[in-house]
Amino acid sequence: MPETLKDTETTKDGTAAVPGPTAATMAASTKPEKARSLWSDAWHDLRRNPLFVASAILITILVVMAAFPQLFTGADPRYADLANHYLQKPNWSHVFKEDWFGYDVQGRSIYARVIHGARNSILVALVVTALVTVIGTATGMIAGYFGGLIDTLLSRVTDIFFAVPFTLGAMVVLTSFEERSVWVVILALAFLGWTQIARVARGSVLTIKQADYVMAAKALGASTSRILLRHILPNAIAPVIVVATISLGGYIGSEATLSFLGIGLAEPAVSWGVDISSGQEQLRNAAFVLIIPSIMVSITVLAFIMLGDAVRNALDPKLR
């Protein structure tokens, strides 16, 4: 993958409207128009991709849901009315009402719970991805750029962490904590999740450090940190962003899996995984208790995977 991204060396159009971290990485030379940079080209592609538009809309809704659940429901996800609502069936015509998706075994509104459950999933996915991207990129860049003994050491450490199965390793870390807040879950996932990005970043840096502009910067006496941050990082980051975007969906699934197993988040935390876990006892007579939060997890993962696919298609010229 990395060697396909050489075209970033050409003129950069710093004015391109790429949102988020990518915009900052390319503030360098501002030459008017001509050949578009990889980033503006990718953004140009993305806006026309229905897959991207659909996933972006979905993700926006989910993020708003995570930030302001009150906008979607006034019901309290923890309010349990066992007497009146024990396993009450969904009322499909009551769209956006408290009883839309029915009530769970404790008489709590499932609609309110899936809306409020978005926060933990989205928070875990975004923060873990941010953490693994920073850790992985730093490790990979240092290993790739300095080479030699440093590379051998860092690569072996990466191998070691990579060899430990992800879900199982996260379980081992998490069971050690009595109180498992969302931050503990985030740390456990980030602790084991950074290896893939480190490998990708290392490979990417290995090809880019041979480039003429890196040699030129060295010859001009640029400091190591300047070469790494201003010259190598912006040009090596594309494959990292692809992997990071794709992994977003995976972390949503991991959080749900761990919470489902009873070693991620736990009551009273509101989480889709916790709800699926408590719904499994009712699978035979009230499957909707399990199926509705499952659908929420799947839609969210789907949205992030589609985003990842779209970003990969836009950033990887080989696939065009």
Examine residue 294 and tell whether it contacts other proteins (CB under 8 A). Answer: yes
Which residues does residue 30 pair with via DSSP β-bridges, in sequence order? 13
| 13 strand-pairing partners | 30
Residue 125 lies near other proteins (rule: CB under 8 A):
no
CB of 86 to other proteins, least distance (A): 21
Q: Which of 112, 114, 290, 307 binds other proteins (CB under 8 A)?
A: 290
Span of 15-23, 33-41, 83-91, 250-258 interacting with other proteins by CB under 8 A: 250-258
The span of 37-45, 61-69, 122-130, 259-267 binding other proteins (CB under 8 A) equals 259-267
Pick the piece of the chain touching other proteins (CB under 8 A) from 56-64, 163-171, 220-228, 236-244: 163-171
Work out whether 126 is an interface residue with other proteins (CB under 8 A): no
Q: Which is nearer to other proteins, 133 or 259 (CB)?
A: 259
Q: Is 287 in the site for other proteins (CB under 8 A)?
A: yes
Binding status of residue 160 toward other proteins by CB under 8 A: yes
Bridge partners (DSSP) of residue 109 are 103
- Note whether 297 binds other proteins by CB under 8 A: yes
In this complex, which beta carbon is closest to other proteins, that of residue 211 or of residue 295? 295
Using CB under 8 A as the binding rule, whether residue 299 contacts other proteins is answered as yes
Q: Does 283 bind other proteins (CB under 8 A)?
A: yes
Number of residues that bind other proteins (CB under 8 A): 43
Q: Please give the structure tokens belonging to residue 267.
A: 């009551």
Task: Report the alpha-carbon distance of residue 124 to residue 144 in Å, rounded.
Answer: 29
Please, which contacts does 174-178 make with residues 24 or more away whose CB atoms are closer than 8 Å?
174/258, 174/263, 174/264, 175/263
The correct pick among 3, 67, 165, 181 for binding other proteins (CB under 8 A) is 165
Of 276, 286, 307, 311, which lies in the binding site for other proteins, with binding defined by CB under 8 A? 276
Per rule CB under 8 A, is residue 260 in the interface with other proteins?
Answer: yes
Structure tokens given for 60: 């926006």
Q: Which is nearer to other proteins, 202 or 231 (CB)?
A: 202
For residue 23, the minimal CB distance to other proteins (Å) is 29
CA distance 52 to 39: 15
Minimum Å gap between C-beta 316 and other proteins is: 11
Closest distance between other proteins and the C-beta of residue 221, in Å?
38
Give me the residues that bind other proteins (CB under 8 A), please: 156-157, 159-161, 163-169, 171-173, 175-178, 249, 253, 256-257, 260-261, 263, 276, 280, 283-284, 287, 290-291, 294, 297-299, 301-302, 305-306, 309, 319
